[in-house]
């Protein structure tokens, strides 16, 4: 079945540091890939997505590129802020989509001032 | 105006009770889902519902049953609650089941005592 593997953290960085959260996947066919973010006490919000190979999703300074050859979708940001502290989930949807999103285990990101 | 709303936000109940969580979406989406998030933040699909077709994750106990009175609502009913059912339950919806992103509700934190 489909699966998503991401670094679990917690990841602790200083403000303005460079961020990379690794995500790799296993899926049948050509999945769509997503990053969701969950702030404390809240639901999940879509951060960015990519639906085909070599697509780059971007939002709020975050970027991720769909790499089919390495089955990866790593999340990056050049300069993190304290307000970026949250749990980040890599996810995919494949096939007919009726099975819903398959999530990684989430990465807890802590940004210190 | 909340896109996906679920109630209640918190639910504390005793073992053996029956409870329901309600979910409504005002986005005109065709597909709705229920996800369970455990204490380690791991998210797993429970059900997806699209055009009256219900897809059930085989690991979900039959004490859990989704009920959809119309396309905008997908409620979750749980019979004979157990301690292990304690978790955060998220409702979500998407335009279709394939490539579009899912919009999540704020979650219902269920505590079984």
Per-residue pLDDT of chain B (113 residues; tens, 9 = 90+): 679 999 999 999 999 999 999 999 999 998 899 999 999 889 999 988 887 788 777 789 999 999 998 889 999 999 999 999 999 999 999 887 666 788 999 999 999 99
Is residue A58 scored above 80 in pLDDT?
yes
How far apart CA A76 and CA A18 sit, in angstroms, is 7
Q: What is the pLDDT of residue B62?
A: 92
Question: Measured between beta carbons, which residues in chain A are less than 8 angstroms from residue B92?
Answer: 44, 100
What residues of chain A lie within 8 A of the CB of B95, using their CB?
none
Percentage of chain A modeled with pLDDT above 70: 97
Confidence of residue A49 (pLDDT cuts 50, 70, 90): very high
**Residues of chain B positioned with their CB less than 8 A from the CB of A98:** 48, 50, 53, 55, 97
Per DSSP bridges, beta strands B10-13 and B108-112 are parallel
- The candidate with the shortest Cα–Cα distance to B66, out of B20, B15, B13, B103, is B20
- pLDDT of the residue at B98: 65
Residue A88 at interface with chain B, using a CB cutoff of 8 Å: no
Q: Which residue has the higher pLDDT, A62 or A43?
A: A62
The 3-class SS string of chain B reads: CCCEEEECCEEEECCCCCEEEEEEECCCCCEEEEEEECCCCCEEEEEEEECCEEEECCCCCCCEEEECCCCCECEEEECCCCHHHCEEEEEEEECCCCCCCCEECCCEEEEEC
The model's pLDDT over A95-112, given as tens digits with 9 standing for 90+, comes to 766 678 899 999 999 999
Closest by CA position to A32, among listed B29, B36, B95? B95
Instruction: Report CB contact under 8 Å: B41, A43.
Output: no
- Tell me what the pLDDT averaged over chain A comes to: 93
Rounded to whole angstroms, the Cα distance separating A42 from B55 reads 26
């Amino acid at each position: 079945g489909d699966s998503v593997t991401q670094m679990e953290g917690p990841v602790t960085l200083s403000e303005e540091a460079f961020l990379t959260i690794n995500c790799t996947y296993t899926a049948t066919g050509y999945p769509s890939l997503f990053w969701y973010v969950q702030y404390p006490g809240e639901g999940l919000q879509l951060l960015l997505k990519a639906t085909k190979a070599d697509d780059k999703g971007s939002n709020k300074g975050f970027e991720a590129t769909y790499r089919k050859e390495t089955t990866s979708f790593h999340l990056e940001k050049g300069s993190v802020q304290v307000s970026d502290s949250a749990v980040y989930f890599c996810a995919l949807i494949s096939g007919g989509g009726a099975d819903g999103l398959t999530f990684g285990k989430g990465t807890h990101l802590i940004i210190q001032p | 105006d909340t896109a996906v709303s679920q109630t209640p936000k918190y639910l504390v109940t005793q073992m053996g009770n029956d409870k329901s969580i309600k979910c409504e979406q005002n986005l005109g989406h065709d597909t709705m889902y229920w996800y369970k998030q455990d204490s380690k933040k791991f998210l797993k699909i429970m059900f997806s519902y699209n055009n009256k077709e219900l897809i059930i994750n085989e690991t979900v106990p039959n004490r859990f049953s989704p009920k959809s009175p119309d396309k905008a609502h997908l409620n979750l009913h749980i019979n004979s609650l157990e301690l292990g059912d304690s978790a955060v339950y998220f409702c979500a919806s998407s335009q279709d089941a394939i490539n579009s992103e899912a919009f999540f509700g704020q979650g219902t934190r269920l505590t079984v005592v």
